């Protein structure tokens, strides 16, 4: 549930906000609170540091930009609000027994050299180094998808049987410049489509829904810099749903505009 949490957090907040505006406050407090608690519980139980950091990214992006591009003062205010919330939740995780201590233990082990923290960092660096060497040996097409883990040790003796925990190094190593360039194009194109779509829709609710997609993809992209995710289907599920939402909301907004324009003046 760690990666689904990255994706679902902005959508839970979006639907909670939408239901709150309709006057169902108790439903939001009870239902939304329970869902967020379960998601946070699953995140701490997974002990995934990358998913935790990525969830914070998706949370920040949605809360700060959910109504398009705010003024700098509003951005700072929302960042401060999110920061306070993260500190409070972090304190609950660290000092209470409400959540599993697996994430806490793993973070402590990571940042403490005498508990293996340095060895974890060394492993990540070795994988990235091996990935770059693999790319240099075959810059156009790489080693092939899902092959690096089996040949990484040929490029660096310290490399473990994993893929590089960095999206771009992983793509360069396994798909070369051609694959990395293609992925960059389709991801940038997706973000351009979504940002243009959110600037065109007129209703606040539609805009916030599109920003939920943007926040979720931003969280996934952040997670991909900390974990091997090239072949994960979560990218493409969110990618496809985002395109459908952008096209459908744009079509609905055009229909609304046409209906308004068809109404005679004075009526």
User: DSSP secondary structure string, 19-77?
Assistant: HHHTT-HHHIIIIIHHHHHHHHHHHHHHT-HHHHHHHHHHHHHHHHHTTSS--HHHHHH
Percent of the chain with pLDDT over 90: 30
Rounded Cα gap, residues 230 and 132, in angstroms:
16
Rounded Cα gap, residues 34 and 134, in angstroms:
46
Rounded Cα gap, residues 235 and 225, in angstroms:
14
| Residue 117: band (very low, low, confident or very high) from pLDDT cuts 50, 70, 90 | low
Query: Are 75 and 64 in contact, with CB atoms under 8 Å apart?
Result: yes
* Tokens of residue 35, six digits: 């869902």
Cβ count near 226 (within 10 Å): 18
When pLDDT is averaged across residues 60-72 and rounded to a whole number, the result is 86
When pLDDT is averaged across residues 241-251 and rounded to a whole number, the result is 89
pTM (2 d.p.)? 0.85
**H-helix or E-strand containing 110?**
helix 102-111
- Delimit the domains of the chain by residue range: 2-258
* Greatest extent of the chain over all pairs of C-alpha atoms, in Å: 79
């Amino acid at each position: 549930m760690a990666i689904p949490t990255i994706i679902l957090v902005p959508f839970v907040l979006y639907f909670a906000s939408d239901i709150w505006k309709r006057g169902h406050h108790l439903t939001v407090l009870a239902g939304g609170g329970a869902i967020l608690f379960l998601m946070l519980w699953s995140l701490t139980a997974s002990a995934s540091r990358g998913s935790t950091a990525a969830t914070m990214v998706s949370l920040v992006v949605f809360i700060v930009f959910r109504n398009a591009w705010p003024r700098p003062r509003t951005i700072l205010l929302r960042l401060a609000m999110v920061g306070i919330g993260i500190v409070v939740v972090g304190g609950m995780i660290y000092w209470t027994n409400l959540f599993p201590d697996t994430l806490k233990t793993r973070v402590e082990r990571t940042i403490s050299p005498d508990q293996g923290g340095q060895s974890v960092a060394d492993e990540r660096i070795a994988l990235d180094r091996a990935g770059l060497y693999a790319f240099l040996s075959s810059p156009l097409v790489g080693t092939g998808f899902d092959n690096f883990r089996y040949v990484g040790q040929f490029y660096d003796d310290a490399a473990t049987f994993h893929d590089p925990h960095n999206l771009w190094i992983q793509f360069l190593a396994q798909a070369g410049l051609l694959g990395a360039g293609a992925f960059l194009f389709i991801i940038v194109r997706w973000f351009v489509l979504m940002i243009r779509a959110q600037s065109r829709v007129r209703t606040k609710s539609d805009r916030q829904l599109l920003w939920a997609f943007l926040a979720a993809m931003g969280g996934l992209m952040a997670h991909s810099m900390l974990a091997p995710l090239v072949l994960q289907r979560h990218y493409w599920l969110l990618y496809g749903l985002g395109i459908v939402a952008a096209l459908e909301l744009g079509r609905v907004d055009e229909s609304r505009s046409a209906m308004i324009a068809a109404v005679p003046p004075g009526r």
